[in-house]
Each structure stands twice: as C-alpha cells, then as structure tokens.
Chain A
Amino acid sequence: MRVTVLAFARIREVIGASSATLELPEGATAASLWRELAERHPELVPLESSTRLARNGALVERGAVLSDGDEIGVMPPFGGG
C-alpha cells in the first residue's frame, strides 16, 4: 500500500521535504511507518518519544494499522500561540 507522509517543522527539515510517498507492506502500522522513516533518516531516532502521528487529521496510536491512501502527519511538539 501507499501512504503519504506529511512532515512538519523540525521533522520536515530533517526529511528535507514537506511530504513524501511511502510504499509499505499490507498490515503496516503507524509504528512501522515511523521505523521506516527513522531508518532512512537516523536523525529522527532521538525525536521518537516527542513525536506524535496523525492519520487523516486525527491523532493515532502507534499500533494502528494503516490503509492505502492514508495521510500520516508526523508532528514534533506543538509551538503555537
């Protein structure tokens, strides 16, 4: 399946793009998407505990199984205001 990664702020800078397409095996979870990203960009590893993931605009658990076409937001701690 194919999912779209939306990267923000520091994570966008590490990845070098605000969005990317990832090919993942069927049954892949949010956690496996993160592992795939961290493998490609080792600078992400120390950011894992502070990073939140959103699926199609809603916060999602790491164990959630992804679907083809999902948009996954990869979000460092918020800083609005």
Chain B
Amino acid sequence: MEGASAVGLPCDIVASPIELERLIAAVRTDACGAVVAFLGVVREFADDDRAVDGLSYEAYPEMALPELQAIAAEASQRFGEARVAVVHRTGALALGDASVAVAVASKHRAVAFDACEYVIDELKRRVPIWKKEHYRDGEASWRANAGGSPARA
C-alpha cells in the first residue's frame, strides 16, 4: 500500500519518478481557493559550482516515513487548515529529475505558501534521507543540509 498522511493524502518515499499532478489532484477540493506546489529538482551545478551528472538518494524508510507523516500533520494545522501531500524519491536521479514534491491546498494562499515552505524546511532538517552528488569528472560526495544534524534526543 502507498504511504499516506493521517488524513489519507499521499505522503511517501518512492523509488519511481514523482508525479506532481497526482499530488495536486489529491489535495485540491472545491473549498480550497489556493494550491501551492513545490518541486525540488536536480540542477546542473553544485553549490561549489562543480558540474553535476546526477544525484543518488537513500533513506531509512522505517524512520523517514513516520517523520514525513508527522511533518505533514504539523503543516496541515500550524498556519490554518491546509491539505498537504509530500513525496520524496530515492535511488539514482538525472539532471532535471524531481527529488521531492510538496503540494498544499487551503482556502486562501497565505496558509498554503507557509505550509508548503514549512514541509520542505522541516523535511531537510528532520527526515533521515541522504544525498550523494555525482560529478561530471567521475568523483562523488555526500552532501548534508544546513541543520541536517538534529539535536540529539
């Protein structure tokens, strides 16, 4: 069965390409006047300007999925009522591939923008997923997020 949030919206870690349209279709309702979507994609140059060939992601799914569900639940209440879906991809990704997608629907846009940003910020900080950059020169290195070492419990 596919991963779902507490309210049954998509919330998952997948090995296959992300379909943003499916997330948008899942969150929108006739009561929502705003839909905000975020897509994180593999870009050509790393932060240090090295040419990137692709990325690979790995996850600790038994921990990452519950954490993702917790973040979605928080985001759906924190700024006002919102409907939140989030999917992260693992495995080998090429330039332009989407690694993560967030879709949020709410009555008005401010709540949807805030909730969407909250989901991606917290995901980067709290969800046990790792990224390796593969460079065009054949080298590779693991890249950590700022704040990606959460305080020890």
Across the interface, name the chain B residue whose C-beta is closest to A73.
Answer: B60
Residues of A bordering B, CB below 8 Å: 6, 8-10, 12, 50, 52, 54, 57-62, 73, 75-81
User: Which B residues contact A (CB, under 8 angstroms)?
Assistant: 40, 57-60, 62-64, 66, 88, 99-100, 120, 123-132, 142-145, 148-150, 152-153
Cβ-defined contact, B152 with A80, below 8 A: no
Q: How far is the CA of A76 from the CA of B124 in the complex (A)?
A: 13
Question: In the assembled complex, which residues on chain A have CB atoms less than 8 Å from the CB atom of B58?
Answer: 8-9, 12
Q: Count A-B pairs with CB separation below 8 Å.
A: 90
B contacts with A: majority SS: mixed
Chain A residues in 8 Å Cβ range of B129: 78-81
User: Which of A8, A10, A57, A59 interacts with B150 by CB under 8 Å?
Assistant: A59
A76-B142, A80-B131 are known contacts. Are A57 and B149 too (CB-CB below 8 A)?
A: no
Give B121 Cβ to nearest chain A Cβ, in Å.
Answer: 9
